Amino acid sequence: MALSRTQQQTLIETGRETPMGELFRRYWIPALLSRELPGPDCDPVQLRLLGEDLLGFRDTNGDFGLIQEFCPHRGVSLFYGRNEECGIRCSYHGWKFDVSGRCVDMPSEPDDSSFKDKVRITAYKMLERGGVLWAYMGPPEFEPPPPELEWALLPETHRYVSKRVQECNYLQALEGGIDSSHVSTLHRFNLDDDPMHEGAHGNVYLKADTRPKFEVQDSISGLLIGARRNADDANDYWRITPFIMPWYTIIPPFGANAIGAHAFVPIDDENCWTWSINYDPVRPLTKAEVAAMDAGMGIHVEYVPGTFRPMANRENHFLIDRAAQRAKKSFSGVKGISMQDASLQESMGRIVDRTTERLGTSDAAIIAARRTLLRAAESLADGGRPPIALEAEAQYVRSASLLIPKGVPFAEGAADALRAAPGKPFASV
């Protein structure tokens, strides 16, 4: 089922006063890594989210601020300002703004002027959790509780968080995150040699059965997406992916390797931040695991130095290696699980035309996710109930990869495995 032009526009546009943009602003948004603002009066950071140019900073008291990037006086970027004495001071005329967006000093005006008291800039609340700085960009009166995703509540030793720029609309990346069928093709030659995927018996089932049967159920989180493959005469192999509104996915685990998760956050309509997380609810990550992730293995990447742009990118054709492709060392010739996904999603163009698609049965999750997003945006626009997945119970869920006896519905056979709990091992084969 292809989308209409109106549906396509609704889904991809995320600026202010667009249906999806207003929906997304009702959630806490992963904005910066905590290490990007390491201490009081540190260097400010430029950031673009949902089409808005912003500046993140940490003031003298250690409080976090997220304000519009440009000074309202003459439009100078506050990135070039001074972070000092509890505010950002514009380098052009000295106007100074605190974390709440108030102008607290205006040295270019007369001493007796009250003009500064009339000037405010856009400012958003930020909080720190799970090694991430989260922003809330919606109406203050509708601010939800802090994020309760399992990985964000674990000790630092149990998680690894990275982010990268992806040069396409967020929805292309998100749809890749809930598409379990592509794993059998795109990643088949690297499941056994990537240190974050190797050793899983489920890899055998993934490579043997390239035609998974999908079942999708609505959930308090958004969706539960089950992909069923043949295992043996008695059991099916199920990979179950939660889609947590509005842009989170949890990858079904691979053996004893740490769980993977993603968030696909719009920078603007043509680019997004892809957040990648590995975590284990029971044990600290090993030095070997951390070293592999630092090296860009698994769902992480190598960067252009000093940036969050992948070293392999559209300008260099993602460093495609045709010899490796011919030798069946990489199905697409692109190195790395994460960049194999990103390269193909970006190859569609900045915004793919979904009105011309020819979707099949393996696209059931894609269709369901689009409908879920559209329904939520429509409900919000109509003044309906708040968007789903704001409550802790809805966010504190898990993925699973497991064997279930034939004929048993996945939601029944995996019910316990899909519930997160402190210290509880995850279900994986």
Instruction: Please state the domain count of the chain.
Output: 2
- pLDDT confidence band for 385 (50 / 70 / 90): confident
Residue 332 to residues 171, 190, 322, 335, 349, Cα–Cα distance (Å): 22, 11, 8, 8, 18
Q: Within this chain, do residues 110 and 188 fall inside the same structural domain, yes or no?
A: no
Which among 278, 287, 277, 229 is positioned nearest to 257, based on CA atoms? 278
Q: Within this chain, do residues 233 and 355 fall inside the same structural domain, yes or no?
A: yes
What pLDDT does residue 2 have? 80
Q: Within this chain, do residues 119 and 173 fall inside the same structural domain, yes or no?
A: no
* Residue 163, in any domain of the structure: yes
Q: Within this chain, do residues 274 and 163 fall inside the same structural domain, yes or no?
A: yes
Which among 238, 251, 242 is positioned nearest to 205, based on CA atoms? 238
Instruction: Determine the residue type at 164.
Output: R
Q: Within this chain, do residues 207 and 137 fall inside the same structural domain, yes or no?
A: no
Range of the domain at 206: 150-413
Q: Which helix (H) or strand (E) holds 290?
A: helix 287-294
* Residue 291, in any domain of the structure: yes
What pLDDT does residue 386 have? 80
Q: Within this chain, do residues 207 and 259 fall inside the same structural domain, yes or no?
A: yes
| The two structure tokens encoding residue 406 | 């034939």
3-state SS, residue 403: strand
Q: Within this chain, do residues 110 and 196 fall inside the same structural domain, yes or no?
A: no
Which among 303, 262, 259 is positioned nearest to 285, based on CA atoms? 259
Q: Please determine, for residue 73, whether its predicted confidence score (pLDDT) is greater than 80.
A: yes
Boundary of a domain, candidates 119, 142, 165: 142
Q: Within this chain, do residues 120 and 166 fall inside the same structural domain, yes or no?
A: no
What pLDDT does residue 180 have? 86
* Residue 20, in any domain of the structure: no
Average pLDDT, stretch 238-250?
98
Q: Please determine, for residue 384, whether its predicted confidence score (pLDDT) is greater than 80.
A: no
Boundary of a domain, candidates 76, 107, 142: 142
Condensed to tens digits (0 to 9), the pLDDT of residues 289-324 reads: 999 999 999 999 999 999 999 999 999 999 999 999
What pLDDT does residue 234 have? 97
* Residue 23, in any domain of the structure: no
* Residue 6, in any domain of the structure: no
User: For residue 94, what is the domain's CATH number?
Assistant: 2.102.10.10
Mean pLDDT of the chain: 97
* Residue 112, in any domain of the structure: yes
- pLDDT confidence band for 280 (50 / 70 / 90): very high
Q: Within this chain, do residues 105 and 175 fall inside the same structural domain, yes or no?
A: no
- pLDDT confidence band for 1 (50 / 70 / 90): low
Boundary of a domain, candidates 123, 142, 161: 142
What pLDDT does residue 215 have? 96
Give the separation between CA 10 and CA 361, rounded to whole angstroms.
24
Residue with structure tokens 């040699």? 193
Whether residue 238 contacts residue 404, with contact meaning beta carbons closer than 8 Å, is answered with: yes
Q: Which helix (H) or strand (E) holds 125?
A: strand 123-129
Average pLDDT, stretch 194-215?
94
Give the separation between CA 290 and CA 283, rounded to whole angstroms.
13
| The two structure tokens encoding residue 94 | 């000295």
Give the separation between CA 353 and CA 356, rounded to whole angstroms.
6
Percent of the chain residues past pLDDT 90, beyond the cut: 97
Q: Within this chain, do residues 122 and 220 fall inside the same structural domain, yes or no?
A: no
Q: Please determine, for residue 256, whether its predicted confidence score (pLDDT) is greater than 70.
A: yes
* Residue 83, in any domain of the structure: yes
Q: Within this chain, do residues 120 and 184 fall inside the same structural domain, yes or no?
A: no
What pLDDT does residue 357 have? 93
User: For residue 270, what is the domain's CATH number?
Assistant: 3.90.380.10
Question: Bridge partners of 99?
Answer: none
Q: Within this chain, do residues 106 and 242 fall inside the same structural domain, yes or no?
A: no
* Residue 419, in any domain of the structure: no
